[in-house]
Amino acid sequence: MTTSRTVTNPKEDQHSFDILLAAFNDTYYKMQSVSTAADKKLFATAYGLLFQQYVDRGCDLNRTSKEMAYLRDMPIWFASLCLMETALDGVTSLSQRLKVFAPIWDALKDRSLDCSMLHERSLTGWACFYDHWATAWKVAEFDPNIRNSKVSVYFDCIVSTTQPKRIAMAIEMMEKLLAFDEEVDRPGHQHGITALMRASAYTNVEQCQWLLDRGASINLRDTANQATSHMHALDRKFGLGDFGTRKRIRETLDFLIERGADLTLTPLTGEDFGNLVINCKALKGTDRAYYKELAKDLRKRTAKPKSTALGVFSLEGKVTPEEIRALDSQTDFLLHPYPQLFTMLIRFLENKGILRFSVTDIATLVSPEWHGIKDTGRNFSIKNVEKQLNALSVGKKIDLNLTRDPESGYFVLLSESQEDNVVAHQYDA
């Protein structure tokens, strides 16, 4: 839409805008105060006549105002269409809505309409966000910012409802938008939350299916919590409130699992699928029991044997410094969380020419100053250190027996065998 409007007297133009703005605010508040569709339609029709007169006089359709009660700072042409469509809330057919709006669009088709983004969101996105599908449908045809919008238009199309006809309108709009933006996984939220994550959080199975059928990634993670779609369905703390709409969570989860949701993934908060199920208040009765059992079976199938460096020592005996470095890439424990301890230990052993050592050798070099032992507020008591070191070993039971050097503060292993104390002996030397 590029045709220029008829130039009017600036004072008359301002006066006309002030009248229309007052009518806009009055209509908005009246529509908010009534409950029947007939009353809403009555007020919207009256405002529509005023807006039509504003258009016919060639007044500036792109004026904005911070005093607008609804959609502030948006062009008056766009805000007016959205306001009038509010009265069509009971019309759940997109074709019917477009038919009602046809006359006003005929009057606007030769006018220059501003489609600038507002708050980094396209006008098409704003119309979708407020469920103004007829407005969004027409605006999309000349909105240049659909792909430039920071918020994905598909994210704005996700509806928090279980009503089939309303969902169908949203999906019809999404289908149209494919001609303007094919990236259905483009984030629609500052934390990297996608349309699929939002549809899952609202337990909107139909929109989940539409998105997955068009290439959405089911195991994509958001950037804030590393949460996937099924995690958003289970827990609203990941960024999307449920607004009381998570009424089909069993149906949604079953669908996501069927389509390949990886239940072994965990968010940054650390909960596995079982924990998420337990914390999900929306799951009740038999549904809750079903997923708890599923989580239990999942834990059994995915359980990994504990494989720590200390555990390897206790099972295989002594290893060399090179072997311990190799273990670092194969196990979940070695240089973390005790980096200083192992680094100094390996350096010491190499300097002393000691080629092989065991878990008992490690215990002789544990010093509170190195933070090799977690401080539990007990001032590194000997019993606590023994308990922690023993807990790190698997297989062969170690039963470490420690004492503490009063001068150095080091924990030293007590043993009848001098071989077991070789590290401590050479260190003192």
Q: Give the CATH number, domain containing residue 239.
A: 1.25.40.20
Q: What's the mean pLDDT when you consider all of the chain?
A: 77
Position 133 in a domain = no
233, 275: one domain: yes
Position 125 in a domain = no
Position 216 in a domain = yes
> Do 91 and 97 contact (CB within 8 A), yes or no?
yes
Residue 90, amino acid: G
Q: How far is CA 383 from CA 180, 315, 359, 376, 411, in A?
A: 67, 23, 17, 12, 11
299, 166: one domain: yes
178, 94: one domain: no
Could you tell me the pLDDT band of residue 244, with boundaries at 50, 70 and 90?
low
Q: What is the DSSP letter of 4?
A: P
**Domain span at 244:** 151-303
50, 163: one domain: no
Is the overall model pTM greater than 0.95, yes or no? no
Structure tokens at 110: 């030769």
Structure tokens at 411: 């924990």
User: Of 303, 318, 350, which marks where a domain is finished?
Assistant: 303
Beta-carbon contacts of residue 9 (< 8 Å; ≥ 6 apart): none
Position 141 in a domain = no
- pLDDT confidence of residue 388: 52
Number of domains in the chain: 3
pLDDT in tens, 318-360: 445 555 555 444 433 333 334 444 555 555 555 555 444 444 4
User: Of 303, 324, 348, which marks where a domain is finished?
Assistant: 303
pLDDT in tens, 19-29: 999 999 999 99
Higher pLDDT, 224 or 21: 21
Residue 215, pLDDT > 50, answer: yes
Residue 18, pLDDT > 50, answer: yes
Q: What percent of the chain is modeled with pLDDT above 90? A: 52
Distance CA(268)–CA(270), nearest Å, equals: 5
Chain length of the chain: 429
Position 129 in a domain = no
295, 158: one domain: yes
Structure tokens at 111: 């006018």
313, 293: one domain: no
Position 292 in a domain = yes
pLDDT in tens, 84-142: 999 998 888 999 999 999 999 999 988 999 999 999 899 999 999 999 999 999 999 99
204, 299: one domain: yes
183, 298: one domain: yes
Position 135 in a domain = no
Distance CA(51)–CA(76), nearest Å, equals: 9
User: Of 303, 326, 346, which marks where a domain is finished?
Assistant: 303
111, 171: one domain: no
Of the chain, the end-to-end C-alpha distance in Å amounts to 89
12, 105: one domain: yes
Distance CA(291)–CA(299), nearest Å, equals: 12
- pLDDT confidence of residue 415: 43
Q: What is the DSSP letter of 27?
A: H
